[in-house]
Amino acid sequence: MVKVWIWLQVGRKASVIGYGDVCAFSVGDIYPQTGRGGRGTERFRKVRRGIIRGVRVYVEVVLINNLALDALLVYAVLFLRRRKVRKVRFACAVALGAAVAVAYPVVPEWAQILIRALLAPLLTVLFDKYANFKDYIISLAVFAGLTFALGGAVSGVSNLIGTDLNGYLVLGLTAFAALVMLVAVRCFARARGRIRRKICPARLIVDGREFSADALCDSGNTLTDAVSGLPVVIVSERFACGIDGWHGEARAASIEGFVELTTVSGRASLPIVKLDGVRVEGREIRAYAALADRDFDGYEVILQNTMF
């Protein structure tokens, strides 16, 4: 459906005063002049010292452009921070960002101020999970920086060619192409990593519930529990944050001991928690899980060397 953005322009200042069908919109007794013409055609009517301007814009184009741009921005943040793409969160963040961007020019000024202040923090909360407030602030800073950079690039190209790209589908197609390229780069890097390092699917059973994870088969992990003699897997901080009782104030009650981890960078004492079992390569093995204080690159669990 063809819609029309209509704004009042006085000198160099302009403010939106309406949005509606080309032939059905009215503001008091003032009607925008319309006529035949394709996308981007403009008609003007002088009103005292101002000008009422109507510009035909296909709302579908605006929506598609913003969907592609928001998807690119969100994915770029996850890509740069090496985070897992959570499909539902990703879709909700992109849809909300696009909807707000389409509605932004016609909401009241106070609402525009709220949108400018709150949209980026809200989208950042939506598209990922965070271990702590610092983790969230880092993602927010990256998202804000990429948003300003992309907005500046679009404005610069628009000024260079003398056309506002926001009203043309080429902007959305370009953003979508960049998104596809990022996805391809990430998939290639992950596939290359899987070839160099053996990564297999595993399921950790906690209190009767199963949690799937990408697990690294690391022959260097020889950790065992000193009391029971059971093997110990190492789980990332992000994976632990998704399991009740393994993070926050409840974590202390779940800890059943500690295990000493020695690496090339030094030694560390990791808390361990009880697992009902670990399922990997068709076997189920009783084990403990050591809770790491960082995330891993390309996997979430490091298996003990007797498990594969």
Query: Same domain, yes or no, for 77 and 176?
Result: yes
Which positions ≥6 away from 54 have C-beta within 8 Å?
4, 5, 6, 22, 25, 32, 33, 34, 42, 43
Taking phi over 0 as left and psi of -120 to 50 as alpha, with beta for the rest, 282 belongs to left
Residue 265 dihedral angles phi and psi, to the nearest 5°: -90, 0
**221 domain-assigned:** yes
Helix (H, G, I), strand (E, B) or coil at 55: strand
| CATH assignment at residue 257 | 2.40.70.10
Query: Same domain, yes or no, for 130 and 234?
Result: no
Structure tokens at 107: 């909401």
Contacts for 145-148: CB closer than 8 Å, 24+ residues apart = 146/73, 146/76, 146/77, 147/73, 147/120
Q: What is the mean pLDDT of residues 159-166?
A: 76
Query: Same domain, yes or no, for 218 and 129?
Result: no
Task: Please choose, from the candidates 292, 287, 282, the residue with its C-alpha nearest in 3D space to the C-alpha of residue 306.
Answer: 287
Q: Given the structure tokens 């579908």, which residue do they identify?
A: 60
Query: Same domain, yes or no, for 114 and 159?
Result: yes
Structure tokens at 179: 């998104």
**105 domain-assigned:** yes
Length of the chain: 308
CB distance 81 to 138 below 8 Å: yes
Kindly calculate the radius of gyration of the chain based on its CA atoms and give it in whole angstroms. 27
**308 domain-assigned:** no
Query: Same domain, yes or no, for 189 and 94?
Result: yes
Query: Same domain, yes or no, for 67 and 189?
Result: yes
Q: What is the largest CA-CA distance in the chain?
A: 88
**229 domain-assigned:** yes
Residue 18 dihedral angles phi and psi, to the nearest 5°: 180, 165
Query: Same domain, yes or no, for 167 and 235?
Result: no
What is the model's pLDDT at position 154? Answer: 84
**For residue 58, which amino acid is it?**
Y
Structure tokens at 256: 């059943």
Query: Same domain, yes or no, for 187 and 258?
Result: no
Counting the structural domains of the chain, the total is 3
Query: Domain containing 180: what range?
Result: 59-194
| pTM of structure | 0.56
pLDDT tens sequence across 17-73? 444 433 333 333 333 333 333 333 343 343 333 433 444 456 777 788 889 999 999
Cα 303 to Cα 284: distance, rounded to the nearest angstrom:
13
Query: Same domain, yes or no, for 266 and 180?
Result: no
Domain stop point among 130, 162, 194: 194
What is the model's pLDDT at position 107? Answer: 80
- Neighbouring CB atoms inside 10 A of 97's CB total 24
Query: Same domain, yes or no, for 44 and 71?
Result: no
Query: Same domain, yes or no, for 113 and 177?
Result: yes
Q: What is the mean pLDDT of residues 95-122?
A: 87
279 vs 44, more confident: 279
Residue 137 dihedral angles phi and psi, to the nearest 5°: -60, -40
Query: Same domain, yes or no, for 49 and 67?
Result: no
Q: Mean pLDDT over all residues of the chain?
A: 77
Exposure of 303 in the CB half-sphere (CA atoms within 13 A)? 28
Range scoring the smallest mean pLDDT among 22-36, 72-86, 244-258:
22-36
Domain stop point among 143, 162, 194: 194
| pLDDT above 50 for 14 | no
Domain stop point among 136, 165, 194: 194
